């Protein structure tokens, strides 16, 4: 069995409070567990019920704002994991997929999604190192500039 981690204490140490789970904007659930894995639905940069920034990269949204939005998406994904199984059940972050609303010619998707990846590394250390995809897309729900989903390995159910 994997060693138990106190990720909630680590979040507190970083001054981070997990938000409430963002309600789905369509017909899906925020996260699903199967076996020892939790898959989150794509999370938008919604804070206190509002999109933090809207638009596309390469057409009005700065790389810095989008990177911060990717961090917010990852935080919302962790909230979904926490609500389903408890954050302290996480063994490691396995995979992150980031979608970046991109104007024609924008190729900086990896740098944007680093906002999520770096945040997960800050929280989980080596257990936050993950495989990743950063994909440019034409549009995202609600006009969001970025959407992030993740897969987390979690301790077996007792």
Q: What is the reported pTM?
A: 0.95
**CATH architecture under which domain 5-152 falls:** 2-Layer Sandwich (3.30)
Separation CA 115–CA 37 (nearest Å): 23
pLDDT at 1: 39
What is the C-alpha separation between 35 and 125, in angstroms, rounded? 24
Domain map (residue ranges) of the chain: 5-152
- pLDDT (tens digit per residue) in 98-153: 999 999 999 999 999 999 999 999 999 999 999 999 999 999 999 999 999 999 99
Q: Considering Cα of 18, then 23, then 155, then 75, what sign does the dihedral take?
A: negative
d(CA 8, CA 15): 11
Predicted confidence (pLDDT) at residue 2 exceeds the cutoff of 60: no
Do 91 and 127 contact (CB within 8 A), yes or no?
yes
- Residue 25, pLDDT above cutoff 90: no
């Amino acid at each position: 069995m994997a060693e138990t981690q106190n990720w909630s204490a680590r979040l507190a140490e970083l001054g981070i409070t997990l938000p409430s789970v963002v309600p789905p904007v369509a017909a899906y659930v925020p996260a699903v567990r199967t076996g020892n894995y939790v898959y989150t639905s794509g999370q938008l940069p919604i804070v206190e019920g509002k999109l933090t920034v809207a638009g596309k990269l390469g057409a009005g949204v700065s790389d810095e704002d989008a990177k911060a939005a990717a961090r917010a998406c990852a935080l919302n994904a962790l909230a979904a994991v926490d609500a389903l199984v408890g954050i302290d059940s996480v063994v490691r972050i396995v995979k992150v997929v980031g979608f970046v609303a991109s104007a024609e010619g924008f190729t900086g998707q990896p740098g944007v999604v680093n906002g999520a990846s770096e945040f997960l590394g800050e929280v989980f250390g080596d257990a936050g190192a993950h495989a990743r995809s950063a994909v440019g897309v034409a549009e995202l729900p609600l006009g969001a500039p970025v959407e992030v989903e993740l897969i987390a390995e979690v301790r077996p159910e007792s």
